[in-house]
Amino acid sequence: MSSSFSNLSLAPALARAVAELGYESMTPIQAQAIPIVLQGRDVMGAAQTGTGKTAAFSLPLLQRMLKHENASTSPARHPVRALVLLPTRELADQVAQAIKSYAKYTNLRSAVVFGGMDMKPQTLQLKAGVEVLVATPGRLLDHIEAKSAVLNQVEYVVLDEADRMLDIGFLPDLQRILSYLPKQRTTLLFSATFSSEIKRLASSYLQDPVTIEVDQSNAAASTVEQHFYSVAGEDKRHALHQVLRQRGLKQAFVFVNSKLGCARLARSLEHEGLKTTALHGDKSQDERLKALDSFKKGEVDLLVCTDVAARGLDIKDVPAVFNFDVPFNAEDYVHRIGRTGRAGASGLAVSFVAPSDARLVSDIEKLLKQKIELEALEFEENQPDIRRQGRINDGRRMYAQAQDAATADAPAAQPRGRFAAAHSAAPERRRESSRGPNPSRDPFFDKPYEPSTSTVAGTATETRVTSTRGGISANIKPKRRVAALFKSA
């Protein structure tokens, strides 16, 4: 099969948009999926993140919908014909932007609706009529209930990041949404990872689907250089600084497991002179979009984030991903490191592994089907030790305190790694922290964590997905409960 777009007989309007975006040949998922979707078949597609999944489903859907294209101003002439559902707001926004760019030279209209934003402008857009609707489940249900989204003419449904979409947090909403759609439709499921349970469940929504698996499913992109360093909790920030410096990295994602840890780590790194922004589920939508935007524009060096940023976000040229915390779910490891090495570029993924993370690492080994070698990280003797320094430019001794606070919600201090043990700063740090409260301590680290008020105003469904259970991301689902739900589905 030739992988050139010119062999696809795409409509001129779509071919022009694709050429303008600089796409020459199709990616493997596109080469396999596009002809099948053009035939109107259901698809279950597994592909790594960053492999061009969005164009793989949207180009053939747009091509099929062109027969309905019209320039009428009547909303009745622009019913929703394609529904694209995604688990996170950022991802919905990104996919909607991609679809807009592919449909740029057509009269097909598209819109995106997600929570955390004012309903009114979304309602106006929906009432004016759109052919392609991109949505997160919670907000879509709000629009269905408000009768601003009418889905009885939907011909195509796409579930992107389908494993998460079928997960416990979304399944009831998803079932309700699907109940509003015509039975006769084409359904496409795309995901970077597919567990066998999810495959079984997904097959109940699909009619005679064609399964597409490009590369090895559940695998990380081969262009990503992966390292797992054995680093004790209290040395992780030092290790982060060192790797950034040694590798000359300009930008990186830094993943942590809790919203509290995310906010505090970002604060500490900012104190240490790194331009940092935080992205987690308790930030308002506006704050989340601003954080992403400033990272995309290169205004900040580090995006410290929870797994809300792990899936599908396409930010070009991010050279590295750090797992400051090893993720609780092995599949999130694949998603996290998929933020680098996108579209064939090379990337670096560094995970800091504390002794208590052994089980999590072995879960990743099982998922990747490859042995993970833990490496020791030798701290440079002659490099400044961030834990002993005062705040950049003002000489105040804030690092040690920030360090103590930043790790306060982490598990109890771990025994230190072989090379890290030789690192001389710990006794001084301990002495400092035993001196009792210091008047220059940043009050941020003493405050209990509070979500932004604008997030609390979000929809119930989305709050459910992003809420914290004792500091642990709500995206971490107890396996037993998920399995129970499958039985009743």
Which of these, 97, 72, 190, 92, lies nearest to 137 by C-alpha position? 92
Residues 261-320 that bind ligand AMP (CB under 6 A): 314
Determine the Cα–Cα distance for residues 91 and 292; give it in Å rounded to an integer.
11
- Residue from 27, 276, 340, 351 touching ligand AMP (CB under 6 A): that is 27
- Residue from 10, 14, 26, 92 touching ligand AMP (CB under 6 A): that is 26
Structure tokens at 342: 């996108």
Nearer Cβ to ligand AMP, position 51 or 242? Answer: 51
* Nearest-approach distance from CB 158 to ligand AMP, in angstroms: 12
Q: Is 96 in the site for ligand AMP (CB under 6 A)?
A: no
The most distant pair of C-alpha atoms in the chain lies apart, rounded to whole Å, by 74
* Nearest-approach distance from CB 211 to ligand AMP, in angstroms: 19
Amino acid occupying residue 70? N
* Nearest-approach distance from CB 27 to ligand AMP, in angstroms: 5
Nearer Cβ to ligand AMP, position 287 or 307? Answer: 307
DSSP letters, 252-289, are: EEEE-S-HHHHHHHHHHHHHTT--EEEE-TTS-HHHHH
182 DSSP assignment: -
Stretches 19-27, 228-236, 289-297, 480-488: which one binds ligand AMP (CB under 6 A)? 19-27
Structure tokens at 164: 């998460």
Total residues in contact with ligand AMP, by rule CB under 6 A: 13
Nearer Cβ to ligand AMP, position 141 or 313? Answer: 313
Nearer Cβ to ligand AMP, position 338 or 458? Answer: 338
Residues 29-58 that bind ligand AMP (CB under 6 A): 30, 50-55
Stretches 20-28, 38-46, 102-110, 232-240: which one binds ligand AMP (CB under 6 A)? 20-28
* Nearest-approach distance from CB 47 to ligand AMP, in angstroms: 8
Determine the Cα–Cα distance for residues 291 and 309; give it in Å rounded to an integer.
11
Residues 318-377 that bind ligand AMP (CB under 6 A): 342-343
Nearer Cβ to ligand AMP, position 316 or 371? Answer: 316
Nearer Cβ to ligand AMP, position 23 or 449? Answer: 23
* Nearest-approach distance from CB 48 to ligand AMP, in angstroms: 8
Which of these, 233, 248, 239, 377, lies nearest to 320 by C-alpha position? 248
- Residue from 11, 23, 148, 396 touching ligand AMP (CB under 6 A): that is 23
Structure tokens at 77: 């002439």
* Nearest-approach distance from CB 96 to ligand AMP, in angstroms: 12
Structure tokens at 251: 């930008």
What is the H or E stretch that residue 302 is in? strand 302-305
List the beta bridge partners of residue 320.
252, 348
CA-CA-CA-CA torsion for 66, 72, 74, 76, nearest 10 degrees?
-20
Determine the Cα–Cα distance for residues 339 and 317; give it in Å rounded to an integer.
9
Nearer Cβ to ligand AMP, position 99 or 425? Answer: 99
Nearer Cβ to ligand AMP, position 193 or 258? Answer: 193
Structure tokens at 53: 């999944």
* Nearest-approach distance from CB 22 to ligand AMP, in angstroms: 6
* Nearest-approach distance from CB 115 to ligand AMP, in angstroms: 22
Nearer Cβ to ligand AMP, position 343 or 421? Answer: 343
CA-CA-CA-CA torsion for 348, 353, 358, 359, nearest 10 degrees?
-60
Nearer Cβ to ligand AMP, position 23 or 105? Answer: 23
Determine the Cα–Cα distance for residues 429 and 434; give it in Å rounded to an integer.
9
Residues 174-203 that bind ligand AMP (CB under 6 A): none
CA-CA-CA-CA torsion for 7, 12, 17, 23, nearest 10 degrees?
10
Residues 428-467 that bind ligand AMP (CB under 6 A): none
Residues in CB range of 280: below 8 A, 6 or more apart: 259, 262, 263, 305, 306, 308
CB 344 within 8 A of CB 319: no
* Nearest-approach distance from CB 189 to ligand AMP, in angstroms: 15
Q: Applying CB under 6 A, which residues contact ligand AMP?
A: 23, 26-27, 30, 50-55, 314, 342-343
